[in-house]
Structures are given as C-alpha cells and as structure tokens.
Amino acid sequence: MIGIDVISIDRIRSSCDRFGSKFLSRFLSSSEIQLCHNQDQPNFQRIAGFWASKEAISKALGVGIGGDLGFLDICLSKDSKGRPQACLISSKSDLFGIESIHLSITHDQNLAIATALIVQKSSKIQAHILKEGKL
C-alpha cells in the first residue's frame, strides 16, 4: 500500500509560532521533537517532513488520522545514515498486520513531501481479500 502527503513548511512554521510546544506534542513524541531541533532551534523542514510522513502512512493504511490511527501511534526516527525510519506502536502494528514500512521524505522550496510504502503480512492481506469477497 502506498500513501503520499505534501505540506507547506510555512504552514508548519506558523502553527509552531502560534501554538508552540502544544502544537508539536499533538503529533510528535518527545524523541521525535528532539530530532526536529538543531541546537534548541526548531528545524521547520524536518517538522513538516515528519507531519507529511505520518499523514502518508495513515493514507497508505486507508484510514487517515482519526479513530483507527492517531499521530502518536506512528513512531519516526533516523538510522545511522540519517534515513527516515517508521513503525507503528505494537497494538496498531498488529491491528494492521504490518510487516514493514518504507518512507521517503523530501523538501523543496516551501514544501515537504513524504511517501510511505507499507508491506502487510500475507495473512492480513488474505483476510482483507476474503472480507471484500474477491477470493
């Protein structure tokens, strides 16, 4: 399953300026917030990229952000080479039958764009096909 999202970096900057840490803690964990700061200054490109990433993951799952999946159910990090990593909290990973999540984030001018590719465990895929009556 594939999901994509794009967001204006200025929109994120405005929300950070207006609501401060309340805005960030609404959709980022404390470790994600730390990743989004350079010498205690917010990195608005990264914050926007993380927002777009969580939205792209929710779209790939077909549920959006809401009752079935919240922003804080999605965990983002960076590997040793700086590549973005994503996972879901264990209860949501089990619910959606996640095998792996692959993520790409880019920034250009005033936009942050993220693409998510989610691989489900084969038993969950088969259950979905049976539920939809396509098997």
Nearest alpha carbon to residue 23 among 1, 49, 47: 47
Beta bridge partners of 112: 7, 107
Residues that are catalytic: 59, 107
In this structure, what token pair is assigned to residue 65? 């952000």
In this structure, what token pair is assigned to residue 15? 């929300």
